[in-house]
Structures are given as structure tokens and as C-alpha cells.
Amino acid sequence: MSGVAKNDATRVIITGASGRMGRMLMRAVTESSAAILVGATERAGSDAMGVDVGLLMGIAPQNLCVVDALDHCAEADVIIDFTAPTACLEHAQFAADHQMGFVIGTTGFDDAQMQSLRTILSEQAVVMAANYSVGVNLALRLIEQAAQVLAADYDAEIIEAHHKHKVDAPSGTALAMGRALAKGRDVSLTDVAVYAREGITGPRESGSIGFSVIRAGNIVGEHTAMFAADEERLEITHIASDRMVFAKGALRAALWLGDAKAGWYDMQDVLSLH
């Protein structure tokens, strides 16, 4: 157990504890009066194994060390998972077996993995979001509303930028923006998305949604939805300057699950934006 007692606090386990987001998530939980960190896991063989979580966060020891399996953690109410698809599926099974809430920040699932995830967690309270920033989720709502007004005669583009270590593209947030835009126009993103342009592509197809991806340096996360007509251009942009914004949002989702019935939710539900 953590060294700091918090009465009636939501008990949280963080997977992928030594990663960028894992450390941020642990900090968010540790700094919250409404939550308590009761477990932190990493893959077997990680250099973080057995290390006190306080040292990973750069704060005083917390009397809680990183372990290699969820069943080595204390009893918890919710798991927050920002890992990889295969690991997330394993963690989801543990959450289902132990009737725990599950917050998913992992991205990059293929269709089969996504179906497996939904099957495993069919009787749990789950929040899954491409982005846990409050600002991003407000932007998604604004993009949908803008797309309802700015029809196919406005060319639509999604532009995103992240650090050079990010392994998937487009980002989950960029795809979420694309889905919000497509929903506003009452079309399927699959039918209208353009993910690459090279060579002689011909003129732009009316109604298409284009994606542009930048990977460079230490960019935390920048996303823009652009609506461009001959006479004007509207851009809805979100810029993250610190990953803590995602950690705080994920913790907000974890706390919200305490009053939620079994079901599949997103941050729009958490923020009452639907």
C-alpha cells in the first residue's frame, strides 16, 4: 500500500509505470486527495522492477514498489492502462476477473484486438478515449458542430504533430477528430478518409477528409481540424504543452467510474458533453 492514507479514496493501479505516461499518471494519483495509488506494474525484466514509485516520479519514497504482475498488487477499484494493445488485453482480463473499473489510454488496436477487448470487458465499467485532455474533448464536440454547418463545399483536413518516439500514425486523437467531423457530416470516416498523398494524385475529391502527420523532436501533441473554402478558413486547434493534462483527465475518468454502471464510456460521457 502507499505510505499516504486517504479515507474513502479510489484505489488505483497504474500499468506501464515507468513510461512517460505511467509516471505522470502516478503523479496525478499521488497528488489527488480523492485517489490512492495501490499498485504499479511493468513488464518482466524492466529496469524499473522493484523500484519505489516515488523514485520514478522524482519525489520521496512512497513505500510502494513496481511489480511485474497485477496479482502482486493490493486490491484496487480501477486500473488505468496506457501500455500497448497486447499488454492491455491481458490487463483487461484481470480487471474483468476481479470486477474492476478500467480506464484505457492505449491506442493502436487492430479490429480483432478491439473486438476482443470489448468482449473481455462486456460486464465492466470502462472508459476508453483517444485523448483524455478536457480541452481536446471539447474540441471534438466543436468539430462535430462545425462539420454540421460547414458541409462538403468546405475542404476538411486533420493535421497532427507528435514527438519522434510515437510509433502509431495518425494519432488516436487525429482519428477521433476525423470521426467527429465525419459524424457531423453524417458520413463514415472509412469512406472519405485520405491518409496519404504522393505523386500525381489528381484534384481533391469533394467531401474527403485528409490527414497530415508530423513526427519531430519532443512535441507533446498538436492537433488541428481545418475547414477551408475559397473565401475563408476555420481552424479548431488544441496544443498540449505538458502530458500531465492527459494524466489528470484519465484520473478524472477513473474517479467518475466509481458511480458508473457497467458499460463502455468515453470522455464525452465523463464531461457530460453528449
Give the active site residues: 162, 166
C-alpha 164/C-alpha 18 separation (Å) is 19
- Residue 221 pairs with which residues in a beta bridge? 240
Rounded CA separation 221/160 (Å): 7
Report the C-alpha gap between 154 and 111 in whole angstroms: 31
In degrees, rounded to 5, the angle at the alpha carbon of residue 255 between the alpha carbons of residues 35 and 129 is 125
Residues with Cβ within 8 Å of 140's Cβ and at least 6 positions away in sequence, in order, are 176, 177, 180, 268, 273
| Contacts (Cβ under 8 Å, ≥6 apart) of 152 | 185, 206, 207
C-alpha distances in angstroms, 265 versus 101, 112, 118, 254, 262?
Answer: 11, 20, 12, 11, 9
CA 82 – CA 238 distance, rounded (Å) = 21
Which grid coordinates belong to 228?
Answer: 477551408
Cell (9 digits) for 218:
519532443
Count CA within 13 A, CB hemisphere, residue 190: 0
